[in-house]
């Protein structure tokens, strides 16, 4: 099952997929009955090349494979804070809880412990690719990159940059922030040099208020010099928008400011963006940048939403993010459900969909949300030809899902012993009320990186 469009799932039943474990790419997708011929062929090849390298995974009656999820916004050093400290608005939350929490990542052993647990948790949830903010610290952010590579997760990682309005024990100097960013970029490029490398560096100004103009300018130049991805927060909440307008009396708005410093490119991913004007969306689209919707965090902290169908109708690339720990869940499935619920409420508002105000217009359902969390994320990160769908030549980043397990073993409740009538119902039920217990296997790049026995 995959979702080439927001409107419909593609369900290929009785299907056989051949993956080359060395390249990690899908070699063939074919009807399993026709596949008998293919099997004989590969048997012959097998004798030549050595049979032991072929691994066969037969799927159970309630099992499906789907593309792995792509989390386009995670604060790795906030993992320990997940689900706590939710009592104050965003800017106060940063100052009171979050900056002190991140300041602890001067310790490498602390970073190793937290990052190992985080990456394992995300892989178990079915997140095969993640776009991470690290802390301000270079050594800890190297640990994060190494942890992703060692665990086999596809990752885009940034050393977060902030040289003002931070506590004394966490703020960095402009010079150190730039030097450490460049050093992190070269570290990643040397360690994972090819296009196929699992980990990529990201230029990461935290957000406009905590970065001086000089720092933003320097980071824009580094992004251009190394042709790097860029990530930051933009137009998130009312208090953040007001703060930016106060600091930049001319530009007033994040989009204009990022643009002035060369930080709005076709490799930029902007978290949140709940408060973007349509003209600004138009500019983001023109440049080729993307936005991450973080439903949980947006409702909790921004007290706002990203009108996904409306923004998509303007041509915007949108991925989904957990925003750990601004969001209260490490699971993108949870965020997908919230995106669906949010759309039910937004459907009455002027920006809720592509119909005039007042007309109810439900657009986002489990299929749409799944599309955003897979294809949407891949497009946002510029890897839409590599992951997010099952096509020949694309990478095998995939989940083996059993929708008949645990709480969803509904066959016990039916006289005929059948779990659900068809695979679509089974997948819908999994997306809407399943969890990591239903994810029995996770592959990244053709390798099994997480398995539930
Ligand atoms: N803006 C600046 N930093 C942060 C952060 O850590 N989380 C969220 N949600 N918004 C931010
Ligand atoms: Fe965030």
272-288 pLDDT per residue, tens: 999 999 999 999 999 99
Q: Which long-range contacts (CB under 8 A, 24 or more apart) does 258-263 make?
A: 258/208, 258/216, 258/232, 258/234, 259/283, 259/287, 261/213, 261/216, 261/217, 261/219, 261/220, 262/217, 262/220, 262/221, 262/223, 262/224, 263/203, 263/205, 263/216, 263/219, 263/220, 263/223, 263/230, 263/232
* Residue 316 domain flag: yes
How high is the pLDDT of residue 46? 46
Among the listed ranges 17-21, 293-297, 325-329, 342-346, which one has the minimum average pLDDT value?
342-346
Task: Give the pTM.
Answer: 0.94
- Ligand 2 center to residue 75 CA distance, Å? 6
Domain CATH number, residue 375: 3.20.20.140
CB of 317 sitting under 6 A from ligand 1: no
Residues with CB under 5 A from ligand 2 (ion): 271, 323
* Residue 445 domain flag: no
* Residue 438 domain flag: no
| Partners of residue 133 on adjacent β-strands | 75, 158
How high is the pLDDT of residue 185? 98
CA distance 210 to 244: 10
225 token code pair: 């010099």
Q: What percent of the chain has pLDDT over 70?
A: 89
Higher pLDDT, 348 or 234: 234
Higher pLDDT, 166 or 57: 166
How high is the pLDDT of residue 58? 86
* Residue 448 domain flag: no
CB of 62 sitting under 6 A from ligand 1: no
- Ligand 1 center to residue 233 CA distance, Å? 7
* Residue 48 domain flag: no
Among the listed ranges 144-153, 296-305, 370-379, which one has the minimum average pLDDT value?
296-305
CB of 75 sitting under 6 A from ligand 1: yes
Provide the mean pLDDT of the chain: 91
Which of 264, 273, 281, 340 minimizes the C-alpha distance to 305? 273
Residue 65 scores a pLDDT above 50: yes
* Residue 332 lies in domain: 69-380
How high is the pLDDT of residue 60? 86
Counting the structural domains of the chain, the total is 1
* Residue 6 domain flag: no
Which one of 233, 274, 324, 325 would you pick to mutate in the ligand 1 pocket, going by the greatest count of ligand atoms within 8 A of its CB? Answer: 233
CB of 297 sitting under 6 A from ligand 1: yes
Which residue CA neighbors atom 11 of ligand 1 most closely? 233
Ligand nearest to the CA of 207: 1
CA distance 245 to 92: 18
How high is the pLDDT of residue 219? 98
pLDDT digit string, tens, across residues 103-145: 999 999 999 999 999 999 999 999 999 999 999 999 999 999 9
Ligand nearest to the CA of 271: 2
State the residue for tokens 């009108």: 307
Residue 48 scores a pLDDT above 80: no
Which residue CA neighbors atom 3 of ligand 1 most closely? 206
CA 101 to chain centroid, in Å, comes to: 22
Environment class of residue 121 by beta-carbon count within 10 Å: exposed (0-12), middle (13-18) or buried (19+)? middle
Specify the pairing of strand 439-444 against strand 317-320: unpaired
- Ligand 1 center to residue 81 CA distance, Å? 13
ipTM: 0.98
Overall average pLDDT of the 401-425 stretch: 73
**CB within 8 A of 432, min separation 6: which ones?**
337, 366
Q: How confident is the model at residue 41 (pLDDT cuts 50, 70, 90)?
A: very low
Which one of 326, 327, 328, 329 would you pick to mutate in the ligand 1 pocket, going by the greatest count of ligand atoms within 8 A of its CB? Answer: 326
* Residue 398 domain flag: no
CB of 73 sitting under 6 A from ligand 1: no
- Ligand 1 center to residue 303 CA distance, Å? 14
Which one of 94, 244, 291 would you pick to mutate in the ligand 1 pocket, going by the greatest count of ligand atoms within 8 A of its CB? Answer: 94
Overall average pLDDT of the 400-412 stretch: 76
* Residue 274 domain flag: yes
Residue 320 scores a pLDDT above 50: yes
Which residue CA neighbors atom 9 of ligand 1 most closely? 326
Ligand nearest to the CA of 93: 1
Overall average pLDDT of the 369-374 stretch: 98
- Ligand 1 center to residue 295 CA distance, Å? 14
CA distance 118 to 436: 14
CA distance 112 to 35: 45
- Ligand 1 center to residue 415 CA distance, Å? 51
- Ligand 2 center to residue 19 CA distance, Å? 35
Ordered DSSP codes for 389-431? S--TTSB--EEEEETTSGGG-GGGGSTT--S-SSHHHHHHHHH
């Amino acid at each position: 099952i995959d979702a080439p469009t927001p409107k419909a799932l593609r369900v290929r039943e009785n299907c056989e997929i051949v993956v080359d474990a060395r390249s990690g790419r899908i070699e063939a997708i074919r009807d399993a009955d026709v596949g008998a011929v293919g099997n004989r062929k590969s048997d012959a090849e097998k004798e030549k090349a050595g049979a032991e390298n072929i691994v066969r995974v037969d799927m159970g009656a309630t099992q499906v494979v789907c593309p792995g999820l792509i989390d386009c916004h995670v604060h790795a050093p906030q993992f320990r804070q997940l689900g706590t400290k939710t009592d104050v608005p965003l800017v106060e939350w940063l100052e009171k809880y979050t900056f002190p929490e991140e300041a602890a990542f001067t310790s490498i052993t602390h970073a190793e412990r937290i990052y190992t647990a985080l990456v394992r948790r995300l892989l178990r949830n079915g997140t095969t690719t993640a776009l991470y903010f690290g802390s301000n610290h270079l050594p800890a952010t190297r640990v994060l990159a190494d942890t992703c590579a060692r665990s086999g997760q596809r990752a885009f990682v940034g050393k977060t940059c902030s040289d003002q309005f931070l506590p004394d024990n966490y703020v960095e100097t402009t010079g150190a922030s730039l030097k450490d960013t460049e050093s992190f970029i070269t570290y990643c490029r040397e360690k994972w040099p090819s296009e196929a490398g699992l980990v990529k560096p990201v230029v990461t100004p935290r957000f406009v208020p905590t970065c001086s103009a000089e720092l933003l300018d320097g980071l824009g130049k580094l992004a251009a010099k190394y042709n790097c991805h860029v990530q930051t927060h933009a137009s998130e909440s009312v208090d953040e928008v007001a703060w930016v307008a106060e600091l930049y009396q001319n530009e007033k708005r994040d989009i204009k400011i990022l643009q002035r410093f060369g930080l709005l490119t076709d490799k930029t991913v902007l978290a949140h963006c709940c408060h973007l004007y349509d003209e600004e969306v138009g500019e983001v689209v023109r440049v080729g940048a993307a936005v991450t919707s973080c439903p949980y965090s947006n409702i909790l902290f921004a007290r706002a939403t990203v009108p996904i169908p409306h923004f998509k109708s303007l041509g915007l690339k949108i991925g989904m993010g957990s925003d750990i720990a601004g969001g209260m869940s490490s699971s993108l499935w949870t965020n997908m459900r919230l995106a669906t619920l949010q759309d039910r409420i937004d459907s009455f508002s002027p920006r809720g969909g592509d119909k005039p105000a007042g007309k109810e217009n439900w657009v986002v359902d489990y299929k749409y949300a799944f599309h955003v969390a897979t294809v949407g994320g891949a497009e946002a990160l510029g890897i839409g030809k590599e992951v997010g769908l099952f096509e020949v030549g694309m990478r095998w980043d995939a989940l083996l899902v059993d929708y008949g397990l645990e709480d969803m073993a509904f066959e016990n409740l039916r006289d005929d012993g059948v779990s659900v009538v068809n695979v679509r119902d089974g997948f819908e039920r999994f997306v809407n009320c399943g969890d990591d217990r239903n994810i029995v296997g996770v592959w990244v790049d053709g390798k099994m990186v997480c398995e539930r026995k």
